[in-house]
Amino acid sequence: MATPSLKECVEPVPVCAMTTSLATVIEIFRISGCDAIAIVDEAQQPMGVVNLRRILPYLMSMSKLGMSKLEVGRATEDFSQPLSQLNPPVIEPIAILPVSLTLDQLWMYLDGEAGMGNGEWGM
């Protein structure tokens, strides 16, 4: 009987660069229907993840009724900024794990990470 590994649990997600604008990321979320996008550097190495929940405050700021011209201008600037420059930040760090990791090895890894918060993992 084969030992299960993380390979059986891999779920592909869209990928974009850290320099991608917030407007483009929102469009990726809309088209893909996913709730996470992997962020890569110039060498296509994973740097983090953007979860839809981190984008919601920006979406809500645009949908408020009665925004002043200054507020609309500031929100529009946010949408044209690269992800890496948004404040509050939307890119969350990830830990890179090999897909060959067995489930037993994963549990040992998670035990070692206990108390360090809920992180994201990339494979």
| pTM of the shown model | 0.75
Residues 80-97: pLDDT tens digits?
889 999 988 999 999 888
In a domain, 79, yes or no: yes
Q: What is the mean pLDDT of the chain?
A: 81
If you average pLDDT over residues 5-24, what whole number do you get? 90
Q: How far apart are CA 82 and CA 23, in angstroms?
A: 9
Q: How far apart are CA 115 and CA 35, in angstroms?
A: 25
CB atoms within 10 A of CB 22: 21
Structural domain that includes position 59: 12-95
Residue matched to tokens 């962020």: 39
In a domain, 106, yes or no: no
In a domain, 22, yes or no: yes
pLDDT score at 122: 57
Q: How far apart are CA 78 and CA 40, in angstroms?
A: 20
- Report the CATH number that the domain containing residue 74 is assigned in CATH: 3.10.580.10
If you average pLDDT over residues 52-62, what whole number do you get? 84
In a domain, 24, yes or no: yes
Number of domains in the chain: 1
Q: Which residue would you say has higher pLDDT here, 78 or 121? A: 78
pLDDT-based confidence at residue 20 (cuts at 50, 70, 90): very high
Cβ-based neighbours of 83, under 8 Å, separated by 6 or more: 16, 18, 19, 20, 21, 22, 25, 39, 50, 90, 91
